[in-house]
Amino acid sequence: MVDFGNLMVFQGTIFLLIAIGFLLGKLHLVEESGKQALNNLLIYVVLPCNIIHSFIDNEAGLSVISACFTILLFSLFNQAFSVLIGKKIYPMAKANELPVLAYGTLCSNAGFIGMPMAEGIYGAAGLLYASVFLIPQRISMYSIGMNYYTRVSGKDVVKKVLTHPCIIAVLLGVVYLFFPFEVPALPHKVITTLSNANLSLSMVVIGVILSECDLSHLFTKVNFYYCFIRLIALPTVMMGVCYLFHAEPIVAGITVVLTGMPAGATTAILASKYGCDEKVGVSIIFLSTVLSILTIPIWCLIVSHLFAV
């Protein structure tokens, strides 16, 4: 069962780290080039080390394979369901808003926020399962998600998926599960040290991104409706699926919590690039991220009680 006190401390840490990033952005201490550099550091170095670390430090070995397969199926269902409803549940949206909202429904910020959250709440096993859960989403980002904005070729999708540092890290981790070996002390220490930077660096980057939001476009019916879908409706559906199939507590926890993550940063980035409503993209990122600080602990508590051993 999740410790409520520790969860509140963890959420407080998340909030303050985001606030630091927000302040850095507002004071222009981190400019656009600096934000991009931090993004690259996260995606190409810190997150892959974080993923590899979760496999190396997980003592369960092959016994986690069944749980990984289950959580992969749950994630595939979540992505399929999001695709089915993505363009049908926003009748109030304008033509240039709909691709943004549909993409934000399909692709959350489960990478930057979800993985540190999974590790903070469930430890190394949670991080491992979160890495597996994110595989379908990372594929969707470059295929179905991109098709909301523009046409993409199958060749480009395959190339981007297979060369994504986090996908490569997961594949290396799976190989390690089947063929474990003693990792030498020096590379293990380097991987662990870089992995430990994931929470702080991820949250500061989120804060910098949020600092760019124009608050005058924040409080609209469309934005609040999106947040209801992203933070409440989707995790409710996935909790029902987990309950129906008698999922293990940690599998249910990771599935529900990661499904209830806020909108990802690429939602606004792609909207700007392809001529959709960038303001809606930035607004739903900001609003859903702030509200998720409240909704995520609630989901953790609900799941811990509903799926208690």
The predicted-structure confidence for 171-214, as pLDDT tens digits, reads as follows 898 888 788 888 899 999 999 999 888 888 888 888 888 887 77
Between these two residues, 223 and 279, which has the higher pLDDT value? Answer: 223
CATH number, domain of 207, equals 1.20.1530
Q: How far apart are CA 228 and CA 181, in angstroms?
A: 45
Per residue in 46-57, pLDDT (tens digit) is 989 988 988 887
> How many structural domains compose the chain?
1
Q: Considering the chain, what percentage of its residues have pLDDT values greater than 90?
A: 39
Q: What are φ and ψ of residue 263, in 5° steps?
A: -65, 145
Per residue in 1-59, pLDDT (tens digit) is 566 677 788 888 888 998 999 999 999 999 888 888 888 898 899 989 988 988 887 66
pLDDT of residue 143: 85
Q: How far apart are CA 81 and CA 259, in angstroms?
A: 11
CA 303 to chain centre: 18
pTM, 2 dp: 0.85
**Which among 112-116, 155-159, 294-298 has the top mean pLDDT?**
294-298
**How long is the chain?**
309
Burial 19-40, CB ≥16 within 10 A → b, else e: eebbebbeeeebeeeebeebbe
CB 140 within 8 A of CB 155: no
> What's the sign of the alpha-carbon dihedral 135, 232, 105, 115?
negative
In sequence order, the β-bridge partners of residue 263 are 108
Give residue 141's domain range. Answer: 4-306
pLDDT of residue 226: 96
For residue 248, is pLDDT > 70? yes
What's the average model confidence in pLDDT over 223-233? 96
What's the average model confidence in pLDDT over 68-84? 95
